[in-house]
Structure 1
């Protein structure tokens, strides 16, 4: 059966200092700021025409998004997530990270025949960021393909094209591996043989990861230190494009708490993550 999950729409990070987060993501990533509300503890950025990044500063006795209050949604803590770049921009990205005074680590995720060098670094709040090259001509395209911004991000900002992946931690790994396909419809692509690490394709069918695919991904693992000393996120709030009616049927059959407004479905996973499913634009 085809997966109802279509693509990655956005991710929300938890921060303890909103202005510092705004400076980092506007200056280092070059993201246009759409909203900055100190009273609500919210900053909202445009990534591209189909994806967003949001920062939440927790405010006592006040949900950052009242719509999600019944689900007790929080922004992700120490999330590992990845950005797509064009491969020829990798050296420039490393120079820009040096310019901003940000330590980085390069790891080759490819093979000797087809290298896939990837750069890892941290934001000011301990979230782990990854820059992964993407072949824009690859046939494995997501619903909303990455497209160059033609210098829109500015000369000192990383030339990111879009969000590539989010990595979540699950205390009960076997239950997660069964639940994500059944209760939401995520397409399990593969597991790593040497650790509890599952890769889910954010698309209609499971596909191979790596080597330049423009597809987007959900990674899930037990609490562990991953590559470049990065953790999977706790209480992650992530947004996906999906065939919402199909996801709704699965969620109701699984008995998971959820809210729905204007065709957008938000669900609280038993591990505390909140997944939001939006209809295609």
Structure 2
């Protein structure tokens, strides 16, 4: 297996609401799609993000869609400054996301916070502080 991740697919409860959150709220570029398409793709640097209805994704994986709570997975978005961490968290909250952990200095030396999207997928926004600033 080649050491890379090419696509992250999030199972979502409301595709249009999630599109608005990621495209309109967070400003991610979205690939053109037909209005009746059941999937949305966001080409990002080095990988793609996909939104797909939760029930359909579970069916495709041949597992039950039941379940909630922490899935054991978070998605990280690193930025270049502490101020960018705060800005991205503000954008997420203004777009309908929920702040899970406000931005703060963290034990590993950086500065980060977490938000949850409308389906409670957890995103860490981090400035991996490499100097003593």
TM-score, normalised by the number of residues in structure 2: 0.68
Q: 2:110 pairs with 104, 116, 119, which one?
A: 116
Distance 2:26 2:105 in 1: 22
Q: 1:25 pairs with 16, 22, 25, which one?
A: 22
Q: Is the contact made by 2:12 and 2:119 (CA closer than 8 Å) also made in structure 1? A: yes
Q: 2:87 pairs with 78, 92, 111, which one?
A: 92
| Alignment gaps of 5+ in structure 2 | none
Measured after TM superposition, the shift of residue 54 of structure 1 is: 0.3
CA RMSD of superposed structures (Å): 3.3
1:236 matched residue in structure 2: none
Note if 1:56 corresponds to 2:34.
Answer: no
Q: Is the contact made by 1:42 and 1:54 (CA closer than 8 Å) also made in structure 2? A: yes
Q: Is the contact made by 1:83 and 1:129 (CA closer than 8 Å) also made in structure 2? A: yes
Distance 1:101 1:72 in 2: 31
The 1:94/1:39 distance shift into structure 2, 3 A limit, reads closer
TM-score, normalised by the number of residues in structure 1: 0.36
Note if 1:132 corresponds to 2:126.
Answer: yes
Q: Is the contact made by 2:42 and 2:49 (CA closer than 8 Å) also made in structure 1? A: yes
Measured after TM superposition, the shift of residue 120 of structure 1 is: 0.3
Measured after TM superposition, the shift of residue 39 of structure 1 is: 4.9
The 1:13/1:94 distance shift into structure 2, 3 A limit, reads closer
Map residues 251-266 of structure 1 onto 2, 5 A cutoff: none
